Structure 1
Amino acid sequence: MGLNGQIPRCEHIDRCPVVEHGPPECRACLALGQSWTWLLVCLSCGWVACSDDSRGGHAKAHYQETDHPVVAALEPSSTWRWCYVHRRNV
């Protein structure tokens, strides 16, 4: 537990390199002719894929294939980050 009841900092976010992300599209959804609701970017490699809210859930599939733990919303003003290992916002 952190100070004042805060949850501990996720060590995975501390290990993320600075990466450039791919184009703002989910390639897997495009190949299947599907649309997405929200795009996420992998903070380990920059791969862009659809969120779990989308039909394909390709960002989570990318985590399961690569063990890259943290994704971020692909929106310029967003600070939202998710750690698949801890299953929580970071």
Structure 2
Amino acid sequence: MTDQIDPIAAPSGPGCADCETAQPQGWWFHLRRCAACGHVGCCDSSPAQHARAHVAASGHAVVRSYEPGEEWFYDFATDRTYAGGPDLAPPLNHPEDQPAPGPRGRVPANWTTLLNR
């Protein structure tokens, strides 16, 4: 797993990079950060599943939760979750005042019915 981690790669931003650039802009449930390059994508429960799409496109199989208070890693190649791992470049999570789901103002009222299960 550690060969898929670059501890100095900074996160791409405070939210899902792909949801932010989509037209129309998307929203997410939770965020995942690529441990190899820092790309921030939305989780598998999110409508667009951009973290998984990044894994498929890049071959970067390891992500870290980008949620406040969560330090786990997940390896898509082995389908395993790890309680911890190497320290990554800050910030370690999205801004604390950013809600989940987010971002504020783009989450539809019926968001719970739109999640992937």
Is the structural similarity TM-score above 0.5? yes
For the residue of structure 1 that corresponds to 2:12, the secondary structure is: coil
Query: Given that residues 24 and 39 in structure 1 are in contact (C-alpha distance below 8 angstroms), is that contact kept between their aligned partners in structure 2?
Result: no
Query: Given that residues 19 and 27 in structure 2 are in contact (C-alpha distance below 8 angstroms), is that contact kept between their aligned partners in structure 1?
Result: yes
Q: Which residue of 1 aligns with 2:6?
A: 17
Q: Which runs of 5+ in 2 are unaligned?
A: 83-117
**Cα distance in 1 for residues equivalent to 2:30 and 2:39:** 14
> How do residues 1-90 of structure 1 correspond to structure 2 at under 5 angstroms?
12=1, 14-15=2-3, 16-18=5-7, 19-30=9-20, 31=22, 32-90=24-82
**Cα distance in 2 for residues equivalent to 1:33 and 1:61:** 17
Q: Which residue of 2 aligns with 1:6?
A: none
User: Which residue identity does 1:82 align to in structure 2?
Assistant: Y
Larger RCO (alpha carbons 8 Å, 6+ apart): 2
CA-CA distance at 1:72 after TM superposition: 0.6
User: Which residue identity does 1:17 align to in structure 2?
Assistant: D
Moved >6 Å (runs of 4+): none
Query: Given that residues 31 and 43 in structure 2 are in contact (C-alpha distance below 8 angstroms), is that contact kept between their aligned partners in structure 1?
Result: yes
CA-CA distance at 1:88 after TM superposition: 1.6
Q: Which runs of 5+ in 1 are unaligned?
A: 1-11
TM-score (norm 2): 0.62
Alignment length, in residue pairs? 78
- Determine what percentage of the aligned residue pairs are the same residue: 31
Query: Given that residues 35 and 64 in structure 2 are in contact (C-alpha distance below 8 angstroms), is that contact kept between their aligned partners in structure 1?
Result: yes
Query: Given that residues 42 and 48 in structure 1 are in contact (C-alpha distance below 8 angstroms), is that contact kept between their aligned partners in structure 2?
Result: yes
CA-CA distance at 1:22 after TM superposition: 1.5
TM-score (norm 1): 0.79
TM-align CA RMSD: 1.2
